[in-house]
Chains A and B, each alone.
Chain A
């Protein structure tokens, strides 16, 4: 009896997992995301800046909007890419712009080096297939 229950659970796990993979939103053809500003190596006095988020061959849509060829921006601050088959984390290193914003205001960057990278998420905050992310750049905030 127990084994049967376990096998049913396992089947659900298998079949439940399969559609999650299949549901991964296909990336628009030739879509690319890039940081318009700041440039790699920029020195940001005061640790406050607008990050201008660029997107080519795709459109921006707020979270929850399921249309073809769209996504919303995520800024990865001082972190590597998250797992690309899961929902993008939401914390101080993974900033979501689910309102369809195309510029991100960063205000409390401590003196030192920081990395910035963009990752596009679909309506469910999951990266597309294949994932659309920018090059990672490094900026420096000089001592105040």
Chain B
């Protein structure tokens, strides 16, 4: 019995440490792709604007540690990354660490997915993570 309690305590302590590393998100935080719409058909060779919507939460550039803030990451043609690690930075995971709230992108013809994921001052997803629905667009 004592051993079980000790194990339970250990789990609590370690999970507590893990939780402490992640920035809490406001309960009702809501991020969404404001434009384009899901199913939108866009023209190739013509850059288009992607607008980032965020409610019940604020934007802060990377490195700025303020409660209830984060910065946008645009996920293109990829699934959500691991939620307990720094968000990757490559052509599928675009960081907006300067506090941008929209961007212009150009994609080759075909179907593409777009999704937003908020990152904290250290590019880590919040707890719970704040991400949008994944939308699909067609470029032709």
Is there a chain A Cβ closer than 8 Å to B66's Cβ? yes
Q: Are A100 and B99 in contact (CB under 8 A)?
A: yes
- Which residues of B96-132 are within 8 A (CB) of A? 96, 98-102
Contact B34 A97 (CB under 8 A): no
Most chain B beta-carbon neighbours within 10 Å: one of A59, A65, A69, A100: A100
**CB of B51 closer than 8 Å to a CB of A:** yes
Interface mask (A34-54 → B, CB under 8 Å = 1, otherwise 0): 001000000000000010111
Q: Judge if A129 is at the interface, Cβ distance under 8 Å.
A: no
Interfacial residues of chain B within 32-71, with CB under 8 A of chain A in the complex: 34, 51-55, 57-61, 64, 66, 68-69
CB-based contact B69/A99 at 8 Å: yes
Of A52, A56, A58, A97, which contacts B58 at CB under 8 A?
Answer: A97
Contact B54 A56 (CB under 8 A): no
* CB <8 Å contact, B99 and A70: yes
A99 x B61 contact (CB < 8 A): no
Residues of B within 8 A of A50 (CB): 55
Whether A100 touches B102, Cβ cut-off 8 Å, given contacts A62-B64, A62-B66, A65-B64, is: no
Q: How many residues from A make CB contacts under 8 Å with B?
A: 22
A69 to B57, CA, bound (A): 21
Query: Which chain A positions have C-beta within 8 A of B66?
Result: 62, 65, 99-100
Specify which chain B residues have a CB less than 8 angstroms from the CB of A62 in the assembled complex: 58, 60, 64, 66, 69
B104 vs chain A, min Cβ distance (A)? 9
Asked if A60 and B101 make an inter-chain contact with CB atoms under 8 angstroms apart, the answer reads: yes
A residues touching B (Cβ–Cβ < 8 Å)? 36, 50, 52-56, 58-62, 65, 67, 69-70, 97, 99-103
26 sampled A-B residue pairs with Cβ under 8 A: A50-B55, A54-B101, A55-B100, A59-B61, A59-B99, A59-B101, A60-B59, A60-B100, A60-B101, A62-B58, A62-B64, A65-B60, A65-B61, A65-B64, A67-B61, A67-B98, A69-B98, A70-B98, A70-B99, A99-B68, A99-B69, A100-B59, A100-B66, A102-B53, A102-B58, A103-B54
